[in-house]
């Protein structure tokens, strides 16, 4: 792999993704990992990420110079560039010219990394200190107003670095810069493709699971759908999926799982229709936290009993989980191992139902999961689906949940989704909750008559990771079509309002 050494800023995951977009496999490791341990992983190259520290503060994480002796190509970015310069005997100083944001870069000597790129180009910078002298043996290839040495390289040793951030979209030629390092300096082969990932995972799953039976809970979301499809590709009918229909899904979603997904994969599926049970448990409950607890509890109970039946019938030993790489990195376990066996109680299953986990998406980012899903032939409605909360429409009805209110919200939500898709905006918008203010009524007029209906809230947001979000500036024409259609087609709704709150201070969901 290419190891991306994380110096603690938010950029390491982005760098790892960009490397993979160049069809080279990458993994993230913490900067605290000893060089010997990094080398033990046989890295094809190492990328040192940006980070918040100043190289000459006392607790600044440095780079062990041994890294540069190992014959492994190394690319330093921003802080990693400065740490590299320092470790190799160059000079980093405060120039008094802080650069933040879009900055003009002047290529003074293209070398390998900046070859065939414009001599003047905009790049994204974020630094106070700057490299003022390159280490011995390095050629300085670019400068900016605040960075006398904005890029350097010693291609004979496979070493290079840049002060700017090639991984961000604000550096238009950033991906070219990364590719030139990977292919022209480090001489790597682009062999990480969707097809190769599928082949590797299928082999790994077979090796892990052997002849044993495997269980998977399908939620209707992308991750569990792709994880299950991979396992099914590997072990066929040894896999049984359980889909608990809690009755809180949106229009058409249960059918997508029960019909389209099964048709595409041939997966063995047990559907538990538990809608009545969830509605009964939720009757009269208005408190959001209580709703979430009830839905979570009922889900575990229903899944447990279905799992028990399947497990007894088939002798299940393994449970598929759709854990993604960002979760693995964020929980500190960025080892990238394909199948980590850990006997923990998934989502609160009891001890006597503890299975060994199979996590085929553990090394993957969300966009890669989608690409694999497409390659496996899953329906676009599932692969391209926006994130949807486990408690479903239960937390998008403000007030108590009942069948009638669910039907109203489903109808309104369906219109919003259809119009978003028709406008070609599915990929631009992170998520588009529609929320029913079920306990609020407002007066309206329709035809000749007064109406006294409910408002729905449109909550389209853009986001990178759902940790923060901005309200989406949907075109007025799209909003107008949604509003007109909802008030025409859903008789109980006579008002459509738009949520223009970012997160923070709002959350994406209303409950």
Nearer to ligand XMP, 374 or 503 (CB): 503
Judged by CB under 6 A, which of 8, 390, 399, 444 binds ligand XMP?
390
Describe the crossing of helices 222-235 and 194-209 by its angle, rounded to 10 degrees. 60
Structure tokens at 85: 């310069």
| DSSP, residue by residue, 371-439 | HHHHHTT--HHHHTPPP--TTGGGGTEES---HHHHHHHHHHHHHHHHHHHHTT-TTT-SB--EEEETT
Q: How far is the CB of 11 from ligand XMP (least distance, A)?
A: 22
CB of 25 to ligand XMP, least distance (A): 28
Question: Shortest distance, CB of residue 209 to ligand XMP, whole angstroms?
Answer: 26
State the Cα–Cα distance between residues 68 and 71, nearest whole angstrom: 7
Q: Is the peptide bond before 204 cis (omega within 30 degrees of 0)?
A: no
219 assigned binding-site residue: yes
Distance CA 183, CA 166 (A): 15
Distance between CA atoms of residues 369 and 355, nearest Å: 24
**Which of 8, 30, 387, 444: binder of ligand XMP (CB under 6 A)?**
387
Q: How far is the CB of 412 from ligand XMP (least distance, A)?
A: 17
300 binds ligand XMP (CB under 6 A): no
Q: Is residue 366 a contact point for ligand XMP (CB under 6 A)?
A: no
Helix-helix angle 275-282:288-314, to 10 degrees: 150
Give the nearer residue to ligand XMP in terms of CB position, either 57 or 331.
Answer: 331
The 10 Å Cβ neighbour count of residue 482 is 26
State phi, psi for 168 to the nearest 5 degrees: -95, 155
Identify which range of 2-10, 98-106, 162-170, 501-509 contacts ligand XMP by CB under 6 A.
Answer: 501-509
Q: Judged by CB, which is closer to ligand XMP: 71, or 504?
A: 504
Task: Give me the least distance between CB of 292 and ligand XMP, in Å please.
Answer: 6
Contact between residue 233 and residue 376 where contact means Cβ atoms under 8 Å apart: yes
Helix (H, G, I), strand (E, B) or coil at 68: helix
Options 30-38, 88-96, 358-366, 382-390: segment touching ligand XMP (CB under 6 A)? 382-390
Which of 43, 146, 391, 455 lies at the binding interface for ligand XMP (CB under 6 A)? Answer: 391
- Please tell me the count of residues contacting ligand XMP according to CB under 6 A: 11
Per-residue mark of binding to ligand XMP, 232-251 (x: CB under 6 A): --------------------
Query: Closer CB to ligand XMP, residue 373 or residue 391?
Result: 391
Does 222 carry a binding-site annotation? yes
Using the rule CB under 6 A, is 122 a contact of ligand XMP? no
Find where tokens 């989608």 sit: 370
Longest CA–CA separation in the chain, Å:
85
Angle, helices 476-489/403-422, rounded to nearest 10 degrees: 150
Site string for ligand XMP, 415-454 (x = CB under 6 A): ----------------x-----------------------
Q: Could you list the active site residues? A: 78, 165, 167
* Residue whose token pair is 């003009």: 104
In the bound complex, what is the minimum distance in angstroms from residue 327's beta carbon to ligand XMP?
12
Helix (H, G, I), strand (E, B) or coil at 506: coil
Annotated binding site: 219-225
Residue ranges of the annotated binding site for ATP are 219-225
Q: What residues make contact with ligand XMP under the rule CB under 6 A?
A: 292, 387, 389-391, 431, 466, 503, 507-509
């Amino acid at each position: 792999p290419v190891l991306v050494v994380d110096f603690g800023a938010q950029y390491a995951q982005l760098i790892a993704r960009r490397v993979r977009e160049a069809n080279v496999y990458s993994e993230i490791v913490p900067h605290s990992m000893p060089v010997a341990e990094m080398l033990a992983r046989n890295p094809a190259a190492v990328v040192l990420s940006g980070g918040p520290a100043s190289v000459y503060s006392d607790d600044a994480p440095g780079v062990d110079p041994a890294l540069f002796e190992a014959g492994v190509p190394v690319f330093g970015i921003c802080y990693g560039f400065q740490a590299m310069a320092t470790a190799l005997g160059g000079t980093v100083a405060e120039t008094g010219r802080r650069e933040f944001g879009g900055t003009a870069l002047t290529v003074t000597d293209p070398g390998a990394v900046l070859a065939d790129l414009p001599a003047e180009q905009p790049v994204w910078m974020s630094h106070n200190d700057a490299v003022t002298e390159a280490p011995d043996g390095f050629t300085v290839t670019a400068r900016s107003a605040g960075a006398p040495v904005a890029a350097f390289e010693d291609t004979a040793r496979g070493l290079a670095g840049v002060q700017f951030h090639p991984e961000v979209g604000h550096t238009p030629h950033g991906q070219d810069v990364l590719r030139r390092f990977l292919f022209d300096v480090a001489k790597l082969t682009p062999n990480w493709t969707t097809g190769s990932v599928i082949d590797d995972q299928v082999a790994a799953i077979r090796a892990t699971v052997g002849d044993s039976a495997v269980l998977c809970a399908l939620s209707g979301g992308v991750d569990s759908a792709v994880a299950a499809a991979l396992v099914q590709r590997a072990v066929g009918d040894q896999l049984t999926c359980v889909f608990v229909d809690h009755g809180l899904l949106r229009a058409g979603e249960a059918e997508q799982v029960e019909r389209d997904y099964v048709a595409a994969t041939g997966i063995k599926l047990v559907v538990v229709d538990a809608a009545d049970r969830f509605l009964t448990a939720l009757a009269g409950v208005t408190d959001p936290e209580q709703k979430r607890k009830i839905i979570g509890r009922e889900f575990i109970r229903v899944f447990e009993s279905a799992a028990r039946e399947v497990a007894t019938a088939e002798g299940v030993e393994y449970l598929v989980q759709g854990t993604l790489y960002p979760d693995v990195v964020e929980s500190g376990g960025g080892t990238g191992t394909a199948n980590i066996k850990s006997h923990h109680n998934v989502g609160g299953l009891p001890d006597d139902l503890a299975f060994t986990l199979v996590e085929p998406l553990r090394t993957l980012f969300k966009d890669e999961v989608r690409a694999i899903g497409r390659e496996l032939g899953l329906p676009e409605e599932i692969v391209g689906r926006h994130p949807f909360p486990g408690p479903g429409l239960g937390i998008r009805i403000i007030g108590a949940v009942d069948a009638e209110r669910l039907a109203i919200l489903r109808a309104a939500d369906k219109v919003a989704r259809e119009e978003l898709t028709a406008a070609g905006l599915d990929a631009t918008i992170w998520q588009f909750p529609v929320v029913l203010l079920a306990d609020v009524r407002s007066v309206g007029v329709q035809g000749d008559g007064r109406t006294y209906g409910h408002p729905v809230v449109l909550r389209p947001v853009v986001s990178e990771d759902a940790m923060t979000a901005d309200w989406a500036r949907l075109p007025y024409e799209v909003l107008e079509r949604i509003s007109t259609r909802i008030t025409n087609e859903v008789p109980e709704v006579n008002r459509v309002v738009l949520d223009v709150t970012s997160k923070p201070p709002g959350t994406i969901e209303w409950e």
